Amino acid sequence: MVKDCSNCLLRLVSALFTVASLAALGEIRYESYDLEAQLQLQLMSYTEAVNKIKELKKRLEKSEMELGTSQSLTNELMGSELSIVETTASEAKARHRSKIEATKVVVVDEQKDKILKLRRKLAFDGYNLCLKKIAKAYLKVDTKVLDHIEVFDVESEDFKDDEVSEDLGDQSCILCLVIVFL
């Protein structure tokens, strides 16, 4: 009799565990008024719930794998798009670089022409200048100012001492030009 009671108690505990598990799942499908039949039906319901959970786990794993695959594909696509953008940007830089270089060459040629014209004009007026010195100072000088420069004859009446006028010969002209550049 004790064995029967312990078996009944064991069945009751397992049934309560099953009922508690199913209640936690919220799904009890079968109803019966016989306690043993009710326990068997709940066990069937519990088994179905466990199978459903296993199926859902498999679907979740499959979805996670698909998600991982889609993320890796997305990353690959983003990487390829990034490389396309970088290539396009470098090509655009190369195109613009050639235009910029061509513009710089044109500007340098124009400056050289202006410097040569300035040198010719100054040489015609009697100045003896170095082209490199003019080129360094040219960016700061407006060539239109040269039209307003008065050229003085070094040997004019302003000098009373002949020695001073001979020593100042070319230097006075350069001095006038340096003053204009400053």
What pLDDT is attached to residue 46? 83
- The residue that leads in pLDDT, 161 or 50, is 50
Q: Cα–Cα distance between 154 and 149 in angstroms, integer? A: 15
Q: Cα–Cα distance between 63 and 79 in angstroms, integer? A: 24
- As given in the structure block, the two tokens for residue 68 are 């991982």
Residue 166 lies in a domain: no
Residue 3 lies in a domain: no
- Write the pLDDT tens digit of every residue in 142-181: 556 656 655 555 554 444 444 444 444 444 444 444 444 4
- The residue that leads in pLDDT, 58 or 3, is 58
Residue 178 lies in a domain: no
Q: Name the percent of the chain lying above pLDDT 90.
A: 1
What pLDDT is attached to residue 113? 86
Q: Tokens 């296993």 correspond to what residue?
A: 54
Residue 127 lies in a domain: yes
Considering its fold, how many domains does the chain have in total? 1
Residue 122 lies in a domain: yes
Q: How confident is the model at residue 141 (pLDDT cuts 50, 70, 90)?
A: low
Residue 2 lies in a domain: no
- Write the pLDDT tens digit of every residue in 34-46: 777 777 888 888 8
Q: Cα–Cα distance between 55 and 176 in angstroms, integer? A: 99
Please tell me the pTM assigned to this model. 0.30
- As given in the structure block, the two tokens for residue 57 are 């786990």
- Write the pLDDT tens digit of every residue in 70-116: 888 898 888 888 889 899 988 888 888 888 888 888 888 888 888 88
Residue 67 lies in a domain: yes
Range of the domain at 66: 14-141
